[in-house]
Structure 1
Amino acid sequence: MSVNGWKLSRRSFVGGAGLAVAAGLAACSSGTSSSGGSTSGSDRAGNVYWLNFKPELDATLQKLAGTYMEKYPNVKVKVTTAAAGTYEQTLTSEMDKSDAPTLFVIGNTAGVKEWGDFAMDLKDSDIAKLLSTEDYNLSDDAGKLVSIPYCYECFGIAVNTDLIEKAGHKLDEIKDFASLKAVVEDLHAKAAENGFDAFVATDMDDSSSWRVTGHLTNLMFFYEARDDGGWEEAPATIKGTYVPNYRKLYDLAINNGTVEPSALATGGHDPLTQFTSGKAAFFLTGSFGYADVKDKVTNTACIPYYCGVQGEEKAGLNCGTENCWAINDNASDEDKKATMDFMVWLVSDADAAQAMVDGLGILPYKNAPASANVYLANAQSYADAGNYNLDWDFNYTPNVEQYRANLVSALNAYNAAPSDASWEGVKTAIVDGWATQYKAANA
């Protein structure tokens, strides 16, 4: 199986979604309609309202919406971007309005249960026919195709390789947690001498806490799911076997960074700027953040979440998606068609598709343009070397926003007074919190 000419592999172990990275064919010409023929501006009408999940894509989408309305003046395109960590509550609010979103995100099995009834069946639709793989499609129990992906992503630990070389190290030194720890602690110990630290600030405000309450938790959930033979749906409880491994990597980041742990709660330290300005060499990010890095960090790479798990020298990056389009089935037929046409334009018009790829890293559509996203290339390199992907089992998190909010509180308490005793509160938020939120979501 392939996406745009690159390998697409399922998990090296049972269950879950695998890796898809970018390269490929030239985009097809602009002016393609949802029915496959050319469409003039006068033939298109209606309203498109996309409730966007990705804040980093907002500027690109606003420009694309403007371009589309110039091209098709009888279509109104509105893009509203939910603030980080607020998508579910924003969607709930917006869906209650008379001008509800026509295009929204259902990115995991919990979302299918919550929002699947609102979604139009995309099976055999014009946009679905353009997909290069069906592996990431989300369907309900009745077989309705609820949502389809519009990008794939990978994440891990981004490294400014020039900085670690300036400090006397090489990227290929880092093969597991012990070697990562040695490099990180050496950089931190010599921060004043070198003029830069190891990790950027691991801020815990809403704009950044998802890096550790969402993405970093994936290492725990992936390895536990692997032990279980793979999750097909969210389990009612988790064992928390790999909470100690989560703590190892979390502690390494907060204790060897530009900001003291006790000062992380309020955020505002701008970890992205710390990374791009050379203030620190390590950053928890991924392909979604590469566009903000590429013009400012000359040499960068993304490495796995090394956390002390046996055999992790064969780990790769965290690869998957929670970015899946759904069309509101309660919208008018005209607005549903307008939305479908807009989606097709985004992935098939040469300029629009290139802008989407530049912002997202990859489009999983047959004729999407190539990507120059280095972090996606890193993910592919690990896969080509036979390493396993850490697939996105954090997508199974029940009642996700409340779960993460409770974990933020527990981590802030730990950061303020780190100890084994205060870590018990974090473990409780992770393990008992899962069971609590599962019950709340499945009441």
Structure 2
Amino acid sequence: MRIVNLKRMGIALLSVGMIATMAACGNAGDSKDSASEDQVTIDIFQFKVEFKDQFEALAEQYEKANPDVKINIETVGGGSDYGAALKSKFSSGNEPTIYNVGGPEDVEIWKDKLADLSDTKAADAALDGTLAGVTTDDGIYGLPYNVEGYGVLYNKAIFEKAGIDAAEIKTLDDLEAAAKTLDEKKGELGIDAPFALAAKEKWITGLHSSNAFLNAEFNNDVTEAYNAKTVEFKYGDQFKKYIDISNQYSVQPTNSLDYSQQIEQLFSNGKVAMTQQGNWVYNSIADINEDVAKNDIGLLPIPIDGVSEGTIPVGVPMYWGVNSNVSDEKQEAAKEFLDYLYTTDEGKDFILEEFKFVPAYSGFDTDKISDPLSKEVYSYYTDDKATGWVFMGYPAGWGENTLGAEIQRYVAGDATWDEIIKTSKDAWADARK
């Protein structure tokens, strides 16, 4: 299959703080408690809760084939602040062997604790452009998890019952018209509301929603965003309209809606017809309602009228970093594990069939991408209908702690749009002085 060149898309990462609630994963198997002195222990501190169980299963499989290696996995979900949790982890003296970093901002923060991964097989196999956010003049400091895309998820069965043709939704006006139709028919459709805006999750609005509009301002280039002294919100009016549609037609109050309610209670159970999320939610939906997951999920673009209609943002959500402070033996074991994950037949099978990942590496049989949501993301990706992720070019913490928090004030009616934009502009400029 043709692979799109991601360099122009400004691939970054999904910022530090994503998806669900804090969860500490125990040991991957009882045998870990009795590790021999000859074993090398790899402690992994990672953010993605959606594949936690599958990742632990893979670790058990790896341990059986490599009895000289013990793997401990701890997972911190995005409802919690992964960046803060990672700093606490290092401060405690219990430093992980493998941990997660994002793009340029994270590499700068953690540079003294990141090993150069240029010599790994996985780095050689990474798709063109996927390493851009973690590459400097002197090395490669992360390996991409996967490729992900997001937009407005919709329930095909509800749309069909409402007489809405998803293919005709190409502009914000089209999205608003669909939401209005769903609202007028919500009684007969059996839904609570057309939309679920999980504004409690500041990463959803302050990172993902904003990226769709700021990406166009920064020309699909995370480095341009990272170097920008100011942000203008060139497409701020359209950003406002998108937030207004999402909020007005949502289950209320939106500031109380978290990821669990959004996906597990509302969307998975057909209580709303639309919500902003990406292909990473497939396993969560399938665990609750397999029929909806397999048959009823579609993905709509977040349109910027006249600029990037018909596209979705696609990027690398996070990177694996290896701690340069641990022993050479542990660093080598960590690199071998990551190579196993992305360059061996067993690892690739897990990536495609268990993790449900869209691979960020060559050598995969992409015809085996198993879930329909990931297939749709991959179709956008290979059909040149994808824009980039620039949100990790934002100043540290700005997306969630400033813009996401300000949007919470806006949807609560405590501030005007002009006020929150001014506050966000000023905070960006202050951070870049």
Sort the TM-score into its range (normalised by shorter chain): 0.7 to 0.9
- Aligned residue type for 2:244: D
- Aligned residue type for 2:372: V
Task: State the shift of 1:140 in Å.
Answer: 5.1
- Aligned residue type for 1:70: K
User: Which residue number corresponds to residue 48 of structure 1?
Assistant: 42
Alpha-carbon contact 1:316-1:379 (below 8 Å) kept: no
Q: Distance in 1 between matches of 2:318 and 2:202?
A: 19
Query: Structure 1 residue 281 and structure 2 residue 273: aligned?
Result: yes
Q: Specify whether residues 327 and 318 from structure 1 end up closer, same or farther in structure 2 by C-alpha distance, changes over 3 A only.
A: same
Q: CA RMSD in A?
A: 3.0
Trace 1:202-241 onto structure 2 (pairs within 5 A). Answer: 202-205=197-200, 208-226=201-219, 231=224, 233-241=226-234
Find the residue that maps to 1:217 and give its secondary structure: helix
Q: Specify whether residues 371 and 88 from structure 1 end up closer, same or farther in structure 2 by C-alpha distance, changes over 3 A only.
A: same
User: Which residue number corresponds to residue 396 of structure 1?
Assistant: 393
Q: Distance in 1 between matches of 2:378 and 2:121?
A: 29
Alpha-carbon contact 1:150-1:323 (below 8 Å) kept: yes
Q: Specify whether residues 199 and 335 from structure 1 end up closer, same or farther in structure 2 by C-alpha distance, changes over 3 A only.
A: farther
Trace 1:292-303 onto structure 2 (pairs within 5 A). Answer: 292-294=284-286, 295-297=290-292, 298-303=295-300
Identity of aligned residues (%): 22
User: Which residue number corresponds to residue 323 of structure 2?
Assistant: 328
Q: Distance in 2 between matches of 1:105 and 1:15?
A: 21
Trace 1:112-123 onto structure 2 (pairs within 5 A). Answer: 112-123=107-118
For residues 258-284 of structure 1, what are the alpha-carbon distances to aligned partners after superposition, in whole Å with 9 as ceiling and x for unaligned? 2244xx246487111311111111111
User: Which residue number corresponds to residue 374 of structure 1?
Assistant: 372
Task: State the shift of 1:153 in Å.
Answer: 0.6
For residues 26-72 of structure 1, what are the alpha-carbon distances to aligned partners after superposition, in whole Å with 9 as ceiling and x for unaligned? xxxxxxxxxxxxxxxx9x84111111021222222222223333333
Trace 1:94-243 onto structure 2 (pairs within 5 A). Answer: 94-133=89-128, 135-139=130-134, 141-205=136-200, 208-226=201-219, 231=224, 233-243=226-236
Q: Distance in 2 between matches of 1:437 and 1:317?
A: 29
Q: Distance in 1 between matches of 2:373 and 2:382?
A: 14
Alpha-carbon contact 2:43-2:98 (below 8 Å) kept: yes
- Aligned residue type for 2:282: Y
User: Which residue number corresponds to residue 7 of structure 1?
Assistant: 3
Find the residue that maps to 1:90 and give its secondary structure: helix
Q: Specify whether residues 53 and 186 from structure 1 end up closer, same or farther in structure 2 by C-alpha distance, changes over 3 A only.
A: same
Query: Structure 1 residue 254 and structure 2 residue 247: aligned?
Result: yes
Q: Distance in 2 between matches of 1:375 and 1:425?
A: 37
Alpha-carbon contact 2:49-2:75 (below 8 Å) kept: yes
Q: Distance in 2 between matches of 1:366 and 1:141?
A: 22
Q: Tell which deviates more after alignment, 103-112 or 347-356.
A: 347-356
- Aligned residue type for 2:48: K
- Aligned residue type for 2:55: L
Q: Distance in 2 between matches of 1:229 and 1:285?
A: 21
Q: Tell which deviates more after alignment, 155-164 or 359-368.
A: 359-368
Q: Distance in 1 between matches of 2:266 and 2:77?
A: 22
User: Which residue number corresponds to residue 407 of structure 2?
Assistant: 411
Find the residue that maps to 1:231 and give its secondary structure: helix
Q: Distance in 2 between matches of 1:278 and 1:376?
A: 20
- Aligned residue type for 1:83: G
Q: Specify whether residues 10 and 241 from structure 1 end up closer, same or farther in structure 2 by C-alpha distance, changes over 3 A only.
A: same
For residues 369-409 of structure 1, what are the alpha-carbon distances to aligned partners after superposition, in whole Å with 9 as ceiling and x for unaligned? 5312333433444456554x220011211112x54123343
Q: Tell which deviates more after alignment, 329-338 or 289-298.
A: 289-298
Q: Specify whether residues 185 and 151 from structure 1 end up closer, same or farther in structure 2 by C-alpha distance, changes over 3 A only.
A: same
Q: Which has the higher helix share?
A: 2
Q: Specify whether residues 269 and 148 from structure 1 end up closer, same or farther in structure 2 by C-alpha distance, changes over 3 A only.
A: closer
- Aligned residue type for 2:331: K
Q: Distance in 2 between matches of 1:266 and 1:180?
A: 21
Q: Distance in 2 between matches of 1:166 and 1:95?
A: 52
- Aligned residue type for 1:131: A
Q: Specify whether residues 354 and 269 from structure 1 end up closer, same or farther in structure 2 by C-alpha distance, changes over 3 A only.
A: closer
Q: Specify whether residues 331 and 230 from structure 1 end up closer, same or farther in structure 2 by C-alpha distance, changes over 3 A only.
A: closer
Alpha-carbon contact 1:107-1:323 (below 8 Å) kept: yes
Q: Distance in 1 between matches of 2:51 and 2:222?
A: 35
Q: Specify whether residues 437 and 197 from structure 1 end up closer, same or farther in structure 2 by C-alpha distance, changes over 3 A only.
A: farther
- Aligned residue type for 1:289: V
Q: List structure 1 runs of 4+ shifted beyond 6 angstroms.
A: 227-230
Task: State the shift of 1:177 in Å.
Answer: 1.3
Trace 1:287-366 onto structure 2 (pairs within 5 A). Answer: 287-294=279-286, 295-297=290-292, 298-307=295-304, 309-313=305-309, 315-357=310-352, 358-366=354-362
For residues 406-438 of structure 1, what are the alpha-carbon distances to aligned partners after superposition, in whole Å with 9 as ceiling and x for unaligned? 3343222222227xx522332134322222333
For residues 54-106 of structure 1, what are the alpha-carbon distances to aligned partners after superposition, in whole Å with 9 as ceiling and x for unaligned? 12222222222233333333322111112314111111122234431111122
Task: State the shift of 1:234 in Å.
Answer: 3.4
Tell me the TM-score normalized by structure 2.
0.83
Q: Specify whether residues 384 and 108 from structure 1 end up closer, same or farther in structure 2 by C-alpha distance, changes over 3 A only.
A: closer
Find the residue that maps to 1:301 and give its secondary structure: strand
User: Which of residues 60, 64, 68 is equivalent to 1:74?
Assistant: 68
- Aligned residue type for 2:428: W
Q: Distance in 2 between matches of 1:410 and 1:232?
A: 20
Q: Distance in 2 between matches of 1:217 and 1:96?
A: 32
Task: State the shift of 1:345 in Å.
Answer: 2.1
- Aligned residue type for 1:245: Q
User: Which residue number corresponds to residue 93 of structure 1?
Assistant: 88
Task: State the shift of 1:109 in Å.
Answer: 0.7
Q: Distance in 1 between matches of 2:314 and 2:135?
A: 23
Task: State the shift of 1:161 in Å.
Answer: 1.1
Q: Distance in 2 between matches of 1:50 and 1:425?
A: 42
Alpha-carbon contact 2:216-2:307 (below 8 Å) kept: no
Which runs of 5 or more structure 2 residues have no equivalent in the other structure?
13-35
